[in-house]
Amino acid sequence: GQQLNQSPQSMFIQEGEDVSMNCTSSSIFNTWLWYKQDPGEGPVLLIALYKAGELTSNGRLTAQFGITRKDSFLNISASIPSDVGIYFCAGQNYGGSQGNLIFGKGTKLSVKP
């Protein structure tokens, strides 16, 4: 089945720094999604991407749907302590039994004040 490679696995950064993480796949997706999960809570949708090449922002977050449809990145600018958490990418396809999310393994972000 389809698998996603998400990197880096973890990041330790200073408050105010920019962050970049990405996901790659050996096959294409119709949709890329980015979620953030805080301890003890469910994943919260950050950005949804629907078209190859699409670049979308949500506040300090920017994500892009790769032109080949096999990758996506998420950037966080000027990180703050509340950015701490685990970030998951997820790919989604349409049709048949593929119609649900494939998750990356997550990027754990730690921010030093």
Q: Which residues lie near another protein (CB under 8 A)? A: 30-31, 33, 35, 40-45, 48, 50, 88, 92-97, 99-101, 103-106
| Whether 8 contacts 109, CB under 8 Å | no
Across 1-113, where does the E strand assignment appear? Answer: 4-7, 10-14, 19-25, 31-37, 44-49, 55-58, 61-65, 71-76, 85-92, 101-103, 107-112
Parallel, antiparallel, or unpaired: how do β-strands 85-92 and 55-58 relate?
A: unpaired
User: What minimum distance in Å lies between the beta carbon of 45 and another protein?
Assistant: 5
- The smaller minimum CB distance to another protein, of residues 15 and 38, is found at 38
Beta carbon nearer to another protein, 94 or 113:
94
Residues 77, 28: contact at Cβ < 8 Å?
A: no
Q: Which is nearer to another protein, 77 or 103 (CB)?
A: 103
SS3 51: coil
Least distance (Å) between residue 12 CB and another protein: 16
Question: Cβ of residue 78: shortest distance to another protein, in angstroms?
Answer: 26
Nearer to another protein, 44 or 78 (CB): 44
State in angstroms the smallest separation of the CB of 83 from another protein.
18
